[in-house]
Structure 1
Amino acid sequence: MERRMIAPCFMDDTLECLRRHGVDAGPLLAQAGLPSIVTGPVSANQYGAFWHAVAQAMDDEFFGEGARPMRAGSFALLCHAILSTATLEHALRRALRFLRVVLENPHGELVVENGLAQIVLKDAGATRSAFAYRTFWIILHGVNCWLIGRRLPIRWVDFRCSAPPAGTDYRLFFGAPVHFDQRRTRLVFDAEYLKLPPIRDERALKHFLRHAPANILVRYRHDAGLSAAIRQRLHATAPSAWPGFEAIAARMRIAAPTLRRRLRQEGQTYRSIKEDLRRALAMEALADGRTNVAQLAVELGFSEPSAFHRAFRKWTGKSPAQFRRNATQTDFAESSSPRKRTQPQES
């Protein structure tokens, strides 16, 4: 597993949660090989061991933050439940139903609209802590990233609660804009990813569970892997000037066949990375109304506007003009009742 460190805010939030629930953290820290006072980053393995110690002591893998306890072993059952699904969308719906049965509240609903997939959290009780919501996202997002073998780039995350003391660390963790004090809690990504097929089997699951949850905290971070390094390089360059595959491999000082193989291991190709970025840039520019469609096509490296129109319709099912109109209407209506398409329940 990658040798990565967990930010101090993870430990601070977890320890504060234990204090709220009257749990003595001392023995659990010692069990995970951590000092009684943690003042800096800890390794992913240490945090994973601490997570397991807390879950076993409380018999709750959600740390007492749900309406019902998520009994020890529930995470493994969740993984088994989604293993036989056909697409990421199928897996998400099944995972959300499983978590609703286990936790009752908060529970999530998948909403697809305007080319975006939104996992909206609902709750019959009072607003929960940022730690509770983030734990929900870690479980759901992490296990589904593992299932499809790649990270799902997040567009933005809204929290219904106020920002915690380490609120700035939340943006670093998600690798996307994070907003607090919102009307609802939701995680948003491009709906195109819902079509991706699972690539894991029972053998892979056994290996995954031996290292969870440390592996989902580092393996699918927004800054992890070669695909993220390539994405960062492309972000710094205008799409019309993006290099070819051989050129990017040379700049990264990696043999082209090796880079291709390692990207395949991350569930990516150079073409898919460029297409993901173009889609994200296009949707952001259209939603913000910063430029006209013809100029945007040129900026994104398309040979002509008609090629951009075809690509955008493939990504979202809408023309650029339709997407812009819908995005503007949705933003205007967000404070009341946005029009949305809720998918039918999965059995």
Structure 2
Amino acid sequence: MTHAPSSTTRLTVTQRDSISVRLVREALLAFERADLSGAQLLAELGLDPACLRELDGRIDVRDYTRLWLGLAQRFDDELFGMDPRRLRSGSFAFISRCCIQQPTLEKALQQALSFFGLELESFRGKLIRSQSLAEIVLRERAAEPARAFCYFTFWMLLHGLACWLVGRRIPLLAVELRCAEPEYTDDYRVMFSDNLRFARPSTRIIFAAEVLDLPVRRSEAELHSFLAEAPANILVRYRDHSSLASRIRQQLRHLPAEQWPDAATLAQRLCMSASTLRRRLAEAGQPYQTIKDGLRQEMATQWLADASVSYGEIAERLGFADVSSFYKAFRKWTGSNPGHYRNLILAPTQH
């Protein structure tokens, strides 16, 4: 990530492929001084500072990219000044080039974590593989946790790179952070997972271990294209931005699983034909069954983190006939069984 903005751009408020203005404020925070406000920084980078007045507004992801790259070039830091040591410009390109030389995602992640551990003070991660689950745990020296934006930016770089290396989105079963929950989390839930847990003993992400064995097959030409589009591509490429799928999820969340409508009834409620619904969801790569499975997985991971909720209760809440059916489905969704996930999420973090 080395290219920078050139001409003045008015930050447009959009919904699709967009970033909250709240995250723009977070990005500017570490660089603001008494003699240099966030608005002045935006103007200096050729971006319109007027957006800062619209706290609930959104900007095009391309403008957020211009901001990220401009700040990285201006301060020689690709991590928004959030670590005592700067992540110098060119660092992301360097580690990406190193990672495409690795045979598997596991080796690539170990390479990336080693690099970040050498370059940074506060973001030293360890990859731990435990049966069918894997976690990356940050070992932090500071007694006080960092801002949520700091953690999510680091995860964005690491997770975005990992997704590109294997050419697919890597679902995160849980994202845990030491810090308290910030006022705004909507973008983070879209980018990473609905299962965000705050004020935890440590900061970590949890995912299926099977993806670690996926081969890395990226060429120098593909790397060049990837870096030319970064970070916009890691901000939106691997996230679900289907508004129809989001509307359906919102409807289902307000109903018990046993009351979820069939496809024909859902289409009627959405004022469209069943064939139109199927076609639009297929075009978005989100069939109705996939949406329901994803929502059931989301709910299951939340309830499994609560030791007071039994497996039988979870199975019943999700609309399964019995516990064994729930176990089978959960393993299909995540590559892990519910008991192993519960043990990992409730156990003290490994170091």
Q: TM-score, normalised by structure 2?
A: 0.70
Match of 1:18 in 2: 31
Could you tell me how far 1:289 is from its partner in structure 2? 4.7
Could you tell me how far 1:211 is from its partner in structure 2? 3.0
- Secondary structure of the 1:48 match is helix
Match of 1:8 in 2: 21
Is contact 2:43–2:49 with CA below 8 Å preserved after alignment? Answer: yes
Identity %: 36
Find the partner of 1:184 among 191, 194, 202. 202
For structure 2, the residue ranges without an aligned partner over 5 or more in a row are: 1-13
Could you tell me how far 1:240 is from its partner in structure 2? 4.7
Is contact 1:28–1:54 with CA below 8 Å preserved after alignment? Answer: no
Could you tell me how far 1:61 is from its partner in structure 2? 0.9
CA distance in 2, matches of 1:142, 1:160: 21
CA distance in 2, matches of 1:72, 1:21: 25
CA distance in 2, matches of 1:99, 1:158: 19
Find the partner of 2:71 among 54, 67, 84. 54
Q: How does 1:118-129 map to 2 (within 5 A)?
A: 118-125=135-142, 127=144, 129=146
Within the alignment, does 1:284 sit opposite 2:302 as a pair? yes
CA offsets per residue over residues 100-158 of structure 1, 9 Å max, x none? Answer: 23325421122345865432212345646314323212212233344455544445444
Match of 1:68 in 2: 85
- Secondary structure of the 1:18 match is coil
Cα gap change, 1:133/1:237 in structure 2, threshold over 3 Å: closer, same or farther? same
Cα gap change, 1:6/1:255 in structure 2, threshold over 3 Å: closer, same or farther? closer
- Secondary structure of the 1:64 match is coil
Match of 1:214 in 2: 232
CA distance in 1, matches of 2:30, 2:294: 37
CA distance in 1, matches of 2:171, 2:139: 23
Could you tell me how far 1:55 is from its partner in structure 2? 0.6
Within the alignment, does 1:81 sit opposite 2:98 as a pair? yes
CA distance in 1, matches of 2:123, 2:307: 35
Letter of the structure 1 residue corresponding to residue 185 of structure 2: Y
Could you tell me how far 1:207 is from its partner in structure 2? 3.7
CA offsets per residue over residues 164-207 of structure 1, 9 Å max, x none? Answer: xxx21135423535555543222344556556666865555444
Could you tell me how far 1:49 is from its partner in structure 2? 0.8
Is contact 1:115–1:315 with CA below 8 Å preserved after alignment? Answer: no
Note the aligned Cα RMSD (angstroms).
4.2
Is contact 1:142–1:217 with CA below 8 Å preserved after alignment? Answer: yes
CA distance in 1, matches of 2:85, 2:71: 16
Is contact 2:86–2:120 with CA below 8 Å preserved after alignment? Answer: yes
Within the alignment, does 1:168 sit opposite 2:190 as a pair? no
Find the partner of 2:282 among 243, 260, 266. 260
Find the partner of 1:101 among 101, 113, 118. 118
- Secondary structure of the 1:76 match is helix
Could you tell me how far 1:56 is from its partner in structure 2? 0.7
- Secondary structure of the 1:38 match is helix
- Secondary structure of the 1:11 match is helix
CA distance in 1, matches of 2:48, 2:304: 48
Cα gap change, 1:192/1:28 in structure 2, threshold over 3 Å: closer, same or farther? same
Is contact 1:297–1:308 with CA below 8 Å preserved after alignment? Answer: yes
- Secondary structure of the 2:63 match is helix
Cα gap change, 1:227/1:198 in structure 2, threshold over 3 Å: closer, same or farther? farther
Is contact 1:88–1:144 with CA below 8 Å preserved after alignment? Answer: yes
Match of 1:137 in 2: 155
Match of 1:111 in 2: 128
Could you tell me how far 1:83 is from its partner in structure 2? 3.5
Q: TM-score, normalised by structure 1?
A: 0.71
Is contact 1:28–1:53 with CA below 8 Å preserved after alignment? Answer: no
Letter of the structure 1 residue corresponding to residue 26 of structure 2: D
